[in-house]
Amino acid sequence: MRYAAAAAAIFTGELLLKNQAEKRLEWGKQIKICRGKILLHKYHNYGVALNLLEKRPGLIQALCGGMLLILGSLWFWLIQKKENPGVLLAFALLLGGGASNYYDRLKRGYVVDYFSFHTPFKSLNRIIFNLSDLCIFLGGMFFAFFVKG
């Protein structure tokens, strides 16, 4: 149950953050936080990572919805088996973040991204994220680390 609560908390918290980003952040303006290491700004991602497939919204919705259905079913099965807690946490991160971005696609037609990192690598500075993206990334890393080989 705690893994479902974690996924729900990610979804709900991210929904609140995205709504605030939509209301408070202005296009073309950046707010520096953490001594300028993190930049807050509004961006609408119509595709998947790095705007891939942005001209195919129906395909993106179908793929993301299918992936969430498969991941959710597998997660439910693993919970019944009392699988490794690290794997279950990985699925909670993947599902919470994935469901949040999927909800954006269905409701808004795009995913709200709102922060980037200021790094010495200029190409990385242009990538704008949201918390869901980080949860999906961490979930993938946890899964790779904790899955039995």
- Answer yes or no: is 116 within a domain: yes
- Answer yes or no: is 149 within a domain: no
- Answer yes or no: is 139 within a domain: yes
- Answer yes or no: is 148 within a domain: no
- Answer yes or no: is 38 within a domain: yes
Residue linked to tokens 């080989």: 149
- Answer yes or no: is 126 within a domain: yes
116 close to 125: Cβ distance less than 8 angstroms: yes
**Which residue range forms the structural domain that includes residue 12?**
2-25+33-143
- Answer yes or no: is 109 within a domain: yes
Local confidence pLDDT in tens for the 149 residues of the chain:
899 999 999 999 999 999 999 999 999 899 999 999 999 999 999 999 878 899 999 999 999 999 999 999 999 999 888 878 999 999 999 999 999 999 999 999 999 999 999 999 888 888 999 999 999 999 999 999 998 65
Structural domains counted in the chain: 1
- Predicted TM-score (pTM) of the model is 0.92
- Answer yes or no: is 130 within a domain: yes
Written as six digits, the tokens of 54 are 């942005």
- Chain CA centroid to CA 46, Å: 14
Instruction: Determine the pLDDT at residue 111.
Output: 97
Instruction: Determine the pLDDT at residue 82.
Output: 82
Query: How far, in Å, CA of 60 to CA of 74, rounded?
Result: 21
